[in-house]
Structure 1
Amino acid sequence: MNFQYPMKMESHFSPSRRSFLNTAIAATLGIQTARLTASESQVTPKAQIAITFDLEMSRQYPRREMMEWDFQKGNLNQETKNYSLKAAEIASSLNGTIHYFCVGRVLEQKDIQWLKTISKLGHPIGNHTYDHVNVWATEPEKTQFRFQRSPWLLGGKSADQVIRQNIRITTEAMKQRLNISPDGFRTPGGSSTALDDREDLQKMLLAEGFSWVSSKYPRHEYSPPNTEPDHEIYQSILSAQKEAQP
């Protein structure tokens, strides 16, 4: 699913996913209005799909009880890096694009050649905060599990200051280690209301140079664990998708 929350100010960051979707819409309209030949009319139209990929570690991997990644979201293991690069190579070989979102701590690792290769292949990379912080948090210690275990890292900062710094230093890390500026911003986690009721966050992100944000995850039905989703679940997801379009 491709979730975006557009804002009203342009910036120097290129909104590649938005451009892609605009092109896709234009192309679709062109198909509808163009006169098709007999052979062309039998061609099945191709779906326009936006693929995104968050560069972070996930809890309960590789074992259900494994929760340590909550404290080390950017400490990617080799398997994850290999998978990320392979996905980019496969997409490129099929003339596709994946929009990656990078947790800043990834860039502390000694070898990031795999990520540079992803960028050189033409896949955009966005800002996903430095520590995978909860941008909706209003208390500093609730911005990230890491800060609950090591509160001295907060240095007396407010939640607003923690979030702003997390965004800003990720942008700087990408410039210094990848020689690129972030292509968009994605909030760690999503919300069914996106940033609609958080004008303060909208202004913060605009000030940091971002004119659009991927943040909305609309509500939908889901099945219990270890249960195949039924038709109603799929229909709920399809309906939710409409709310998630940019």
Structure 2
Amino acid sequence: MQCLGYTKEQFQFIIVQPLKLYAFHKPTQQIHRIPDIAPAELLKAVTMDALRWYSLRVPLTEVAPINISTAGKPTPQDSLYRLRSAYLRCCTLLQQAQHRGIIQLETNEGNHGGFAPTENAPKLMSLADYVWESPDAATLANLLQAVPKILEQSATEIAPHLVCRHLEAISETCLPSLDSLSLNPQNCALLLAAKQTIFELLENVLAIALPESTFPDSNLRFVKFSED
């Protein structure tokens, strides 16, 4: 850089950490570190999405440990699987609410996971204006409202792990509490906000794919409340 007439202050560096691979050895029932393998072979065992998730969820200055026996697999021990499960659970509950006539959803291309009331529907309030029925719902609402601050901090510090950890906190709050959440317009607004947030952060910020939702078209808006 000096030969080209530049100083290090004129460049923005992004440090990419090495990966440390682990696998579960069935005969010994233990997790062992495995030697480096060719990228093509690695991708046969672990998807690119899983590699991306586990490399980004730790600070870029640290080694990213990846257990190739469980990374991205449908197991409760996998944090990416739990996050995707929370997303799909939100989709399922919203579909149930629609079938019960509590809300009406319609497709809206280009606004995946977003929602907006029609002219005749009650005005949607900010999540901060609701009084939540449970501590878990209040915690989830607070996590969703904190997303802009987390994104700003992550961009300023070049720290994508902050986004990953925040997504993990959202999924860990969602999973144990969603089944006990009553389906009413207020909680549906919370579910839609959670669904939209997970999609925006995972797919648009981290470029990690989500599974197909249970809706025929997952580009959804919240368009009307039930009169009940």
When normalised by structure 2's length, the TM-score is: 0.26
Larger radius of gyration: 2
The structure, 1 or 2, with the larger RCO (C-alpha pairs under 8 Å, 6+ apart) is 2
